[in-house]
Structure 1
Amino acid sequence: MSSPELSTKSPENDALEAATSTADAPPPLCDDCTSDRPTPSGQTPKGEVAKLSDVDVYISKPASYPTSPARLLLLLTGGTGLLSTNNQLQADRFAAEGYVVVMPDLFGGDPAPNSKTAAEIAEESNSGSFLDVFKVKAAETAKSFMIDMWLARHTEEKVLPLIKKVLEAAKDEFADAVTYGGGVYAVGYCFGGRYVLLLGQEKEVARAHGQQSDEEANKAKTEGPWIKVGALAHATLVSPQDFVGLKVPVSLVSVESDPMFPDEVRTAGEDVMRESGVEHEVQVYPGVPHGFAVIGEYEDENIKTAQATAFEQMLKWIEDH
């Protein structure tokens, strides 16, 4: 005999519960990481897409370069990737401040999926019926699944070597900028923010067996850091471990109560940097969405002001180092 609970539940209820259980957990990337806001009116990119080591990159240079010296800046994007107009405009902003900016395609022409959001579906289906609720939950579940699959295609094991390959090629192509700046500067947003931390680490690496003296065998071999200073805004997928081994000055632009970069991860990272003597600064911005620091059209004056302030924070940090 069936239980009362089972006998009163419809198949639709089972489906809704399945969708709800998956969708309730926050996705590893939010809409601000995977979709562009409207581009500010009247602005168009000034750089060009080229190739470095067979990787597509967006390159933006100061108007006076190479007549006037400039420094080399690596810009690492969120999931919207290389062809995002807003990302290109962000690169142009740094170029206007005296940097040769190299922005690589981290995803090989495969930017993060951007399906219809739950909010958009809710606006279209505002009757509040069971079917509308189910559509919202199903959309959230589907998008989360697509993001998970996308992240599985773009792991650290794939992305970090790609960045290093571009970095080496950029150092050759713009050797004058590297010399003038005393190294490579780096800024990162959302997905790219974590990789600024990884590039700023010094890591021990194994020596090839039989290729070292006894003295060398007792001395750890290290590599990195690959940059001289970093600044990152509303990073995603960061863990406290990503701060271990950090050797370069770092500035963090953070969002208050950001599920993509939780407070406990940020504070744990601050503890690691403090204990290891890494120069750093952290500014937490209240009342703004994740992704706010990337160029985009906002009506809220508070967000506009915060976006301008975040840019100045990151720019000042790299200029001062």
Structure 2
Amino acid sequence: MADSEVSSNATKAPESDAAEDVPKDTSPSLVPGDTPAQAGASLGEHCVTDRPTPSGLGSSGEITPLGGIDTYISKPTDYPHAPSKLLLLLTAATGLHSVNNQIQADSYAKEGFLVVMPDMFAGDPLPGSATYTEEKDPSIIEQVKMRAAETAKSFLIDLWLARNTPQKALPIVHKVLAAAKDEYADAVANGGGVYSVGYCFGGSITLLLAGEKPDTVAWGQQQPTDEEAGVSKKGPFIKAGAIAHPTSITREDFEGTKAPLAFICVENDQLFSEEIREYGEKYLKENNVESEFRTYSGVPHGFAVTGDYPDDASIQARQTEAFDQMLAWLKSH
């Protein structure tokens, strides 16, 4: 398709029925930029490696403990003298110390949001994710070395994914949310709740926060086996959210969604397959949850995160377009 496609529905959300329990989509990634080794790890190259930081840009916020968790905080320049809204930013595997992620947070702060970006990975970002390197036309020897490095990297990604799951990240996010609601109660009140944006891994967490879930699931534990045991439900924990090219989302993750959500999708993205996307779009529509899905073509998974694409200006333009879409969605809710 030449241009991005948009579909949306806007209605009030009632109680919803449970979605069928389907295992996670474990299809190998065929996203442009992924190597076969990385593809098998269910994370794309642009999820786990920073693009070059755009020339002249740097971060302006600060890292400080919030709820006992290291958190990058970026505030509007006129805060607290002018009202702001609280925005939770949840990153890809590159994590808290990625300058690109910090610049992404600053971009929302410039638009009037007080942004908190927690270290969801508890000091354990993906190994080797801090910088982006690219060698053009390598020699045969270098190609062999690169393939060996890719295999090793794939192994590290597998280990990292085993350690860092939504079940581990959710309790960390809830700690930060509780502390932020106390520390920045004025921003929460001004926005009528907490907003959230999520990229890649962070997108799956934003989706979970947007739902009313059994208490155990909402806090990162397993789905209860006895539905007749009087399990209480909690959530949603956010007022509205925007999600860019999420990873590892299952059908059951949409269950109980109540908060309005916008999705930035990538064409032919095996990390957020067309089957899962179509299921989510149908589920939200049938359950009268306000939503918007836009598919971008000619871009890699991870394109919406701040980063330079010197060899393809069109990707940079779509990156700006995606940010504008997410910002407009937040501001309209």
TM-score range for the pair, normalised by the shorter chain length: 0.7 to 0.9
Q: How many residues are paired up?
A: 285
Deviation at 1:42, TM superposition (A): 1.1
What's 1:319 paired with?
331
1:29 & 1:123 partners in 2: Cα distance? 25
Taking the TM superposition and a 5 Å limit, the aligned residue runs for 1:249-264 are 249-264=260-275
2:287 & 2:198 partners in 1: Cα distance? 22
Secondary structure of the equivalent of 2:322?
Answer: helix
What's 2:61 paired with?
47
Q: Percent identity?
A: 53
The answer to whether the Cα contact below 8 Å between 1:122 and 1:136 also exists between their aligned partners in 2 is: no
Deviation at 1:228, TM superposition (A): 0.5
What's 2:303 paired with?
292
What's 1:26 paired with?
40
1:108 & 1:68 partners in 2: Cα distance? 33
What's 2:91 paired with?
77
Which structure is higher in RCO with an 8 Å CA cutoff and minimum separation 6? Answer: 2
Q: Choose 1 or 2 for highest CA Rg.
A: 1
Taking the TM superposition and a 5 Å limit, the aligned residue runs for 1:38-187 are 38-114=52-128, 123-126=137-140, 135-187=145-197
Structure 1 residues 65 and 240: CA distance shift in structure 2, 3 A: same
Amino acid in structure 2 at the alignment position of 1:196: T
Secondary structure of the equivalent of 1:260?
Answer: helix
Amino acid in structure 2 at the alignment position of 1:203: K
The answer to whether the Cα contact below 8 Å between 2:60 and 2:74 also exists between their aligned partners in 1 is: yes
2:230 & 2:188 partners in 1: Cα distance? 30
The answer for unaligned runs of 5 or more in structure 2 is 1-35, 217-227
Deviation at 1:219, TM superposition (A): 6.9
- Which of 184, 200, 204 is 2:210 aligned to? 200
2:241 & 2:154 partners in 1: Cα distance? 30
Amino acid in structure 1 at the alignment position of 2:299: V
Q: Spell out, residue by residue over 1:199-249, the C-alpha distance to the aligned partner (whole angstroms, 9 max, x if none).
A: 01101348xxxxxxxxxx997632111001000101111112111111110
Structure 1 residues 143 and 218: CA distance shift in structure 2, 3 A: closer
Return the structure number with greater helix share. 1
Structure 1 residues 28 and 54: CA distance shift in structure 2, 3 A: same
Secondary structure of the equivalent of 2:272?
Answer: coil
Deviation at 1:122, TM superposition (A): 8.4
Structure 1 residues 271 and 44: CA distance shift in structure 2, 3 A: same
Q: Which moved more, 1:90-99 or 1:240-249?
A: 240-249
Secondary structure of the equivalent of 1:246?
Answer: coil
Query: Is the aligned partner of 1:245 residue 2:259?
Result: no
2:118 & 2:279 partners in 1: Cα distance? 30
Q: Give RMSD over aligned pairs.
A: 2.3
Amino acid in structure 1 at the alignment position of 2:272: F
2:38 & 2:309 partners in 1: Cα distance? 27
Query: Is the aligned partner of 1:265 residue 2:279?
Result: no
The answer for unaligned runs of 5 or more in structure 1 is 1-21, 207-216
1:282 & 1:161 partners in 2: Cα distance? 28
1:32 & 1:199 partners in 2: Cα distance? 24
Deviation at 1:120, TM superposition (A): 5.6
Structure 1 residues 305 and 55: CA distance shift in structure 2, 3 A: same
The answer to whether the Cα contact below 8 Å between 1:29 and 1:260 also exists between their aligned partners in 2 is: yes
The answer to whether the Cα contact below 8 Å between 1:121 and 1:135 also exists between their aligned partners in 2 is: no
